[in-house]
Structure 1
Amino acid sequence: MTSPVVAGAVIVRAGRALLIRRASPAGALLWSFPSGKVEPGETAAEAAAREAQEEAGVTVEPLVALGSRIHPATGWRVVYVACRLLSGDAHAASPREVAEVAWAPVGRLSGYVPGGVYGPVQEYLDGVLSH
């Protein structure tokens, strides 16, 4: 059995990244970018945008895939997609899945994400902060 492909929406606003706290942790992973399984016929970019809406109530425009990896905490293949926030106030839009949301300072993500942020995602976040 193959593990699911998951798309994660990397959304930044004013030096902060949008994170969600899962109602049920996935292994050691409690906080994450809005993310979920890529459905049949859907691209990772489309899935990232859909998950941002379903989990955090925000509308985003996918910009670019930042890379993919087998996530060390879940074993799932995750494709990270940088997204531009278009509208909406972030909130726990799916209480069954999401306990809370946070706009976490990019420099403090390690406090939310055990083991740190995936290298190419961190490089993107650092680049956004430097502009």
Structure 2
Amino acid sequence: MNESGADERPEVVAAVIVKDGRVLLVRRRVGEGGLVWQFPGGEVEAGESGEEAAERETREEAGLSVRATGLLGRRIHPGTGRTVVYAACDVVDGIAHVGDLDEIAEVAWCGRAGLAEFIRFPFHEAVRAYLDANLR
């Protein structure tokens, strides 16, 4: 950690993917900082934009081809201490499934009503607004 409290490891991207009024979540085999269910994502690699990382990580973890449509924001995650970049993404092709058996245990499309059962940390304000506008 540095003086500002941010983790000095590379930024992490979270792909916020909404389709048919539901958002895609993945359940990691090993939780990080209390996170178990979360958006597909991972570390942004050198020379890669947050949007590119969101597209790559979603393909690797959930077998979906997505197109990032914009960044929703960034924050230091309250549970992990990592800097997280949130990218809104649209599905281009594929059916969500466990793409990385070593890292992901399952995937789920979740509507507004069930979201609290999956996610225990408060959403970044911009992510919450995006989900409020797009979930059923």
TM-score for both structures, normalised by structure 1: 0.94
Corresponding residue pairs, total = 130
Q: Deviations over 1:21-77 (max 9, x none)?
A: 001111200000001000000000000000000000000000010000001111110
Look up the match of 2:126. Answer: 120
Equivalent positions of 1:10-89 (< 5 A) are: 10-89=16-95
Counterpart Cα distance in 1 of 2:46 and 2:33 = 25
> Which residue identity does 2:32 align to in structure 1?
A
% identical aligned pairs? 47
User: Where has structure 1 moved over 4 Å in runs of 4 or more?
Assistant: none
Matched, 1:106 2:107: no
> Which residue identity does 1:13 align to in structure 2?
K
Offset of residue 110 of structure 1? 1.8
- Unaligned residue ranges in structure 1 (runs of 5+): none
Conserved? CA contact 2:18–2:135, under 8 Å:
no
Counterpart Cα distance in 2 of 1:106 and 1:4 = 31
Look up the match of 1:94. Answer: 100
Conserved? CA contact 1:110–1:116, under 8 Å:
no
Aligned-CA RMSD value = 1.3
> Which residue identity does 2:59 align to in structure 1?
Q
Q: Deviations over 1:77-116 (max 9, x none)?
A: 0000000001111011001010000001134322111123
- Unaligned residue ranges in structure 2 (runs of 5+): 2-7
1:5 equivalent among 6, 11, 14 = 11
